[in-house]
Amino acid sequence: MKANLRRPRPRATRLGRALLVGLLSAIALSSTAQTPLAWHKDAGTAADVTPAPVYPSDRPAPLPADITRRPLAASFDVRVFEAMAQDLVANQRVPGLAMAIVHDGRVLSARGYGITDVSHAEPVDAHTVFRLASLSKSFAGTLTGMLVSEGALRWDSRVVDFMPSLQFADPAAAQQLTVADVLSHRVGLRHHTYDRDIEANADYHGLVQRFAAAPMACAPGECYGYQNVAFSLVGDVVFAASGQFYSEAVSRRIFKPLGMNDASLGLDGITASARWAKPHVRAGAGWKSLMPKPTYYRLAPAAGVNASINDMAQWLLAQGGHRTEVLPAPLLATLQAPIVGTPAEMRGASWRRERLNAAGYGLGWRIYDYSGHRLVFHGGAVQGYRGLMAMLPERDLGVVILWNSNSALPSGLLPTILDRAIGLPTHPWLDVDPNLESLYASDDQTAPASGGPQSSGAQARPQ
């Protein structure tokens, strides 16, 4: 049944949206203002959309520096996680993998495992470039936030002011859509609108024109529907507001200042890399390498970034508040504050079902309640590549895992690391040799969880 987009909005929703706009606007005007918003874990769901009530919190989102830091649990041992990663690539269970762990402003580990290509094997190292897929969305949110901080635009700026030709099925929708709506997937369209067309090689600009005929589930700002095509509208906003093409702006404002020297955007970017990991798909009992598809690269804000694990270690340090000269703390607090509930995220993988108490989306980041602990997260997947990245602010811990296959096997490594950091009971999230942990437990020379030397393959911040 088609949604009635012009129906009177419920008073609570009107108030919630007004509060959201006011609060985000305040952030654009103040270097210390925060986003006092929280999400409601019991928000309802429907087949095509998740209603998006906004619930004012009784306190603002904390700055990274204001979070009460807690030490890593005694069970946290980087060597064990490195051994688990090595076990995952043994006998090509997955072809290649890279993992970074950062804590307290330091890179504890940034290493590669396995090979870049089963047909022409080279070892994955700290500078091997992977395709990030939807991990790219955090870069889009951050870049936009930098422009907001500079006064080039506002979170409540209307997208149509930068894209006058933008139209939706409801004539009023384009006038309502804000920059914050785009980055939090509250455009009003159904989940994954036109993703199949992108996979079929459709052109991004042509699909934007087709929004005028796309079924809408709600008015902008009133429901959550995950997008790739519509999310990429922010690239057009960046160009109109800054005069820089999106890829140029990301490179100049993020990659170079943070020392992400292997990072790039687009298909040309990854193939020009000195060393890069080919995507792999199943072929009988083994793996077959492919050339990356160009399709989702056409959506640079949603899925266009390529990076090495060394780059991603720097990204996690910056997002954790350790590069404030590039990413100031108030901006990070804004990006990483939940705006809309996404309860469907609590289903799926077993660790989500058992560990997540609430789920929401901010501005390019997902925010979870992980067994009572705030987790900032995003995942990504395109043909032959997958990745996960997460931060536990109270532990000042960041983890990113990238691999060059469509296997789900490495996914269990993330909750394994998070559980050890928090001190939760051991759970078999990951199918690896059960003797690995006992081997290190019997070693008297236990490596420190933090403060010690970086693991082999890790890189200090490039100068």
Question: Cβ distance 100 to 316 under 8 Å?
Answer: yes
CA–chain centroid gap for 158, Å, is: 24
Which residue is associated with the tokens 């990951």? 430
d(CA 242, CA 365): 23
Does any domain span residue 447? no
Condensed to tens digits (0 to 9), the pLDDT of residues 438-460 reads: 777 656 444 444 433 344 343 33
pLDDT over 70 for what percent of the chain? 82
d(CA 401, CA 379): 10
Residue 261, classified by CB atoms within 10 Å of its CB into exposed (0-12), middle (13-18) or buried (19+), is middle
CB atoms closer than 10 angstroms to residue 424: 17
Q: What pLDDT is attached to residue 412?
A: 97
pLDDT at 146 over 80: yes
Q: What pLDDT is attached to residue 441?
A: 65
In this prediction, residues 422-437 reach a mean pLDDT of 89
In this prediction, residues 158-175 reach a mean pLDDT of 97
Q: Which helix (H) or strand (E) holds 416?
A: helix 413-422
Does any domain span residue 209? no
Indicate the average pLDDT of the chain: 86
pLDDT at 418 over 80: yes
Does any domain span residue 428? yes
Q: What pLDDT is attached to residue 66?
A: 74
| Number of folded domains that form the chain | 1
Instruction: Give the long-range contacts of residues 365-368, CB within 8 A, separation 24 or more.
Output: 365/137, 365/138, 365/141, 365/335, 365/336, 366/342, 367/39, 367/336, 367/337, 367/338
In this prediction, residues 47-69 reach a mean pLDDT of 55
Q: Model confidence at 94, in pLDDT bands (50, 70, 90)?
A: very high
Does any domain span residue 172? no
Q: 360 Cβ partners below 8 Å, 6+ apart?
A: 38, 39, 338, 339, 340, 341, 342, 366, 367, 368
- Please give the residue range of the domain that contains residue 378: 78-139+261-441
In this prediction, residues 116-125 reach a mean pLDDT of 96
Q: Which helix (H) or strand (E) holds 312?
A: helix 309-317
Does any domain span residue 356? yes
Per mean pLDDT, which range of 11-20, 117-126, 355-364, 424-433 is the poorest? 11-20
Question: The domain that contains 417 carries what CATH number?
Answer: 3.40.710.10
Does any domain span residue 4? no
In this prediction, residues 421-449 reach a mean pLDDT of 76
Question: Cβ distance 336 to 61 under 8 Å?
Answer: yes
Condensed to tens digits (0 to 9), the pLDDT of residues 230-268 reads: 999 999 999 999 999 999 999 999 999 999 999 999 999
